[in-house]
Amino acid sequence: MKETKGITMIALTITIVVMIILAGITVQYGMGLLQNVKLQDLRTNMLLIQAKAKEYVEEVNFQLVNVTDEAEKTRIKNENLKGISLADSSIDSNVLNAANATGKIEGEKSDYYYLNSEILKEMGLEDMNSEEYGYFIVKYDIENISVDVINTKGYQGNYTLEQLNSLTGEE
């Protein structure tokens, strides 16, 4: 009888196929993790913006308790609400186009404010470039003391914080 040394071609082929399958699964799992990290990063930034913007809304609401003069109300809002109104003529057309492209800007544009890099820095969000993260838009609702946060880049077609929370299953 002849003695064989080494492995057969079939065993080698099976080993290579198994390794390719394992590599594919690992790459797919890694890509899923990266997507989840991007979603959580965007969501965290939007939660930070919402928390800080809500402080501004609460301050305005507190100051408007006994004010009846519309000019005074406008002054208080302008002093305390941060951002550049989308109704402002000085707003960058890129920001306005990106905000409109989300389909989330409803009603008066004067209710929506663009948060530029300086304001984001005040909120504790440094290094937020628009190419990577898109633009952040907030809608201040003084009467209901709430804030809606919209990101123009979004995540897989979801642009609002509420939509991102529904993706992660959190409120």
CA separation for the pair 122, 52 (Å, rounded): 9
Alpha carbons 68 and 72: distance in angstroms, whole number: 8
Q: Are 64 and 120 in contact (CB under 8 A)?
A: no
Lateral strand order in the sheet of 112-115: 84-85, 112-115, 136-141, 146-155, 158-160
Assigned domain for 2 exists: no
pLDDT in the model for residue 4: 67
Summarize pLDDT for 86-115 with one digit per residue, the tens.
988 888 888 888 888 888 888 888 889 999
Residue 3 lies inside a defined structural domain of this protein: no
When pLDDT is cut at 50, 70 and 90, the band that residue 1 belongs to is low
Write the DSSP symbol of residue 109. Answer: G
At 23 the three-state DSSP class reads: helix
Per the structure, the count of domains in the chain is: 1
pTM score of the predicted model: 0.79
- Within a domain: residue 16? yes
Tens digits of residue pLDDT in 40-75: 888 888 999 999 999 999 999 999 888 889 899 889
